[in-house]
Amino acid sequence: MANELQLIVVTPETTIVDEPVSALRFPLFDGQAGVLPGRAPLVGRLGCGELKLSAVSGERSYFVDGGFVQINGKTVTLLTSRCLASSEIDSDAARAELAEATTRPAANDADIDARFRDQDRARAMLSLKK
């Protein structure tokens, strides 16, 4: 038990994961971050991408879509608006989303940012599905 973290992943609708893990990797706003037991307390902003965890039952990966992470002692909490197991990702929908984002006209900075964000999200989903 000493070398384990309790990982909790919550979305506004439900709690998706609540189990001990030996290590995990999640997307921070600027890239992937790995966490091992004994990490210093942290509050951070998540990006979208792959959440990979090593639990007793093996390695699993999820797709998380933004949110926050809080690490406090042995507890790692991920708050995200959307979290899908990698098998649940609908690659057709993601591809359509990517195509839509790529062809969407963007006139100002905010639109361009939104477009890049949507493209990144769709690409992250697709790469996870493969």
Q: Residue 59 or residue 81: which is nearer to other proteins going by CB? A: 81
Give min distance, CB of 105 to other proteins, in A.
18
Q: Binding residues for other proteins, per CB under 8 A?
A: 10-15, 28-30, 40-45, 66-68, 70, 72, 77, 79, 81-82
Task: Name the pairing type of β-strands 5-10 and 75-79.
Answer: parallel
- Shortest CB 66 distance to other proteins, Å: 8
Which residue type occupies 71? I
DSSP 112-130: HHHHHHHHHHHHHHHHHH-
Q: Which is nearer to other proteins, 15 or 54 (CB)?
A: 15
Q: Of 58 and 107, which CB lies nearer to other proteins in the complex structure?
A: 107
Least CB distance to other proteins at residue 58 (A): 25
Residue 84: burial class (beta carbons within 10 Å; 0-12, 13-18, 19+): middle
Q: How far is the CB of 17 from other proteins (least distance, A)?
A: 12
* Angle between helix 91-103 and helix 109-129 axes, rounded to 10 deg: 160
How many Å apart are CA 74 and CA 40, to the nearest integer? 10
45 or 99, CB closer to other proteins?
45
